[in-house]
Structure 1
Amino acid sequence: MAKKTRERAAAPAGENPRRPCPCGSGKRYKACHGAGDDVIVTRPFEGLAAECDLVAMREFLPSATAPLPLRTQGERPVTLATVLPGAAAAVVRADGEILLGLQVQTRSGDLSADLARALRWAQEAEPGESLQVVGPGVAGELTRLQDVLDPAASLDLTMHSDFAWWIPVDESGAGPSPEVAASLERANAVILPTEPVVAEGVRSAYWVDTGTKAHLRWVRPEPEEKLQAALARLQARGELALTEEARYAGSFRAHGLLVPVWDLDRELHSKEWTAPAAAFATRLDAALADEAPLTDAERRARDALAGKQVTLR
């Protein structure tokens, strides 16, 4: 049977698992998504200030880490990572530090709950242990990231050019195991150069070099309908491109958010897109604030842009 998809309604973070399920089914969370059924939560990180960063780390950032802003810090520091050796869900290092992986295989339709389960496992595991897949063996009260993270905290992301951070500093000089060394070599071989574009009004925007093209991928927090209308207004005015040469390529949906993409000149350094991105952010903010009905030209632009959208799951 095909999986059902339901849009989640916003729900306050921090309530206990007996609250109504945020998918809108009318059931308690524990008896619905919390039970690990086949319903897909299309926007698993909704309600968190870090939502755009989490989507970027999950979908297209190759090598990045960030301290996890927990509501209550435990004895073990927790670092969120894009991907871990062997695509593990969680690793507890010898010193007790927890590494939690975002780019992992999931067993339910609620990525937020799967990540919270992996975190709970790591907080109780012994140093040196790793969790490959979050499955039925990870027991305990069901929670989601919204229950354990500070909802107002964004992520302090660090981008890495490779996966050398997989190997902790060892004063004894011991190197990684052959398995980890081989995994590290394979991961480094396929990494795409990626850098954040940081400017006033710009967050969760990344320059990516795919080898044949360069792109700007920008995770946006707005509801899709509102963002589509704003992009259509800019398109109708000829203001959707970052520059005359950096044309709008389309967008993809990821975990309930829209990610607009622009084709860029590969010869230009990532920092050279700071000013164009900041200028576009100002134009977009003005278009988002415009509540007038779309004109005929803007509706046609919206329909044309809708044909350039794909959905990632």
Structure 2
Amino acid sequence: MAKKRPQSKGARPQLTDGEVPVVGAREPCPCGSGRRYKACHGRAAAQAVTELVQRPFEGLPGECDWVALRELVPAATAELRLRDGLPEGVPSVTLATVLPMAWPALRRDDGSVLIGLQNDTASGDISRDLADTLTQALTAAPGTPVQARRVPADGPRLQDLLDPEGTFAPVVHTGFEFWVPDAENASAEVTASLERANAAAIPTVKLTGVDAAYWCEAPDKNHLRWVMPHPEEQLLDALARLHAAGRSGLGEGTRLVGSFRAHGLTVPVWDLPSATSAEDIEKPAAEFAERLAVALASDEPLTGDERRARGGLTNRQVTLS
């Protein structure tokens, strides 16, 4: 069999990175070189990734809930208020955990905008990537999804575009029906994506009595995952004081099992009995918040038992971002 003659270097299109669309890392590079994207123009894109921003949502109203919707919650939405108000023809802007086919954003037929939060981002600053997606969506043609692209390092961030005085009030959904206001006329592709997403969603409920705490139902046991805004070292000391005193639980059969870091914040996690509902945990969580406030205010050195408790909690800590 004759070998395929490689394309000569002289015949390759001489395109700049800005002219080459972003595709999957293992797909052929759109420039026509014959190489995979990751080994061609994708290499330059990877090298251009900006320095990782540890707290991309810092300064936004509801930072803890932004982190929760990015990492913990399958299906949720939140209305966004823009610093300069909504442009003409855009009745609303809504943040969503995910969108059909993992679109970064969507301009609906009525002009409203949906922004997906859980998508992969091209740079080390999620806030800048989302701001670029939002800017594109505001001017996209109605009925058009917005595709990802590489973001200029000096582009605006969400903190520049959103109203700093606005509230951030997530609404947790049992499924992704909010994708399709007119389900009967949805495309087969969107309908199939909806069915897959609903099948994979873990039942989740946002507690009402404390901030940024989310109950979820797992097959063997339930959990409470609580995004907290306190400085990490201070929070771990406070949790260790309560743990050593036997006061870190949320009622009978519950257990503080550790924490993880996400976007610069610490997220303690409790195991709950499978029969414990979100409603059951509301009062214990509010009571724990009071105990935690007292422990956070203490500046006494940790005792030996408290240091051992802290070591146990720290050993079970992981970082998601």
Q: TM-score, normalised by structure 1?
A: 0.83
1:165 aligns with 2:175: no
Q: Per-residue CA shift, 1:72-113, capped at 9, x if unaligned?
A: 221321000000001111000000000001010110010010
Name the CA shift for 1:223/1:153 in 2 (closer, same or farther; >3 Å): farther
1:271 aligns with 2:279: yes
Q: Which position in structure 1 is the counterpart of 2:147?
A: 132
- 2:211 pairs with 181, 203, 212, which one? 203
- 1:74 pairs with 69, 74, 86, which one? 86
How far off its partner does 1:140 sit?
10
- 2:261 pairs with 253, 256, 271, which one? 253
Q: Which position in structure 1 is the counterpart of 2:29?
A: none
1:56 aligns with 2:68: yes
* Greater Rg by CA: 2
How far off its partner does 1:295 sit?
2.5
How far off its partner does 1:38 sit?
4.0
1:84 aligns with 2:96: no
Q: Per-residue CA shift, 1:171-209, capped at 9, x if unaligned?
A: xxx52101101101110111110011111xx11101101
How far off its partner does 1:152 sit?
4.2
CA distance in 2, matches of 1:70, 1:281: 32
**Alignment length, in residue pairs?**
272
Letter in 2 for 1:149: L
CA distance in 2, matches of 1:298, 1:159: 36
Does the aligned pair in 2 maintain the 1:112–1:144 contact within 8 Å? yes
Q: How does 1:216-235 map to 2 (within 5 A)?
A: 216-235=224-243
1:285 aligns with 2:293: yes
Q: Which position in structure 1 is the counterpart of 2:5?
A: none
Name the CA shift for 1:177/1:45 in 2 (closer, same or farther; >3 Å): same
Q: Which position in structure 2 is the counterpart of 1:27?
A: none
CA distance in 2, matches of 1:198, 1:98: 27
CA distance in 2, matches of 1:110, 1:271: 36
Equivalent position SS for 2:305: helix
CA distance in 1, matches of 2:64, 2:117: 13
Q: Which position in structure 2 is the counterpart of 1:150?
A: 163
Does the aligned pair in 1 maintain the 2:74–2:202 contact within 8 Å? yes
Letter in 1 for 2:199: A
CA distance in 1, matches of 2:227, 2:164: 18
Q: TM-score, normalised by structure 2?
A: 0.81
1:177 aligns with 2:187: yes
Letter in 1 for 2:123: S
Name the CA shift for 1:140/1:248 in 2 (closer, same or farther; >3 Å): closer
Give me the CA root mean square deviation: 1.8
Q: Structure 1: where are the runs of 5+ without partners?
A: 1-34
Equivalent position SS for 1:94: coil
Does the aligned pair in 1 maintain the 2:52–2:125 contact within 8 Å? yes
- 2:113 pairs with 94, 98, 108, which one? 98
Q: Per-residue CA shift, 1:116-137, capped at 9, x if unaligned?
A: 000000111111111232x13x
Equivalent position SS for 1:298: helix
Q: Structure 2: where are the runs of 5+ without partners?
A: 1-46
Letter in 2 for 1:72: D
Q: Which is worse superposed, 248-257 or 42-51?
A: 42-51
Q: Which position in structure 2 is the counterpart of 1:13?
A: none
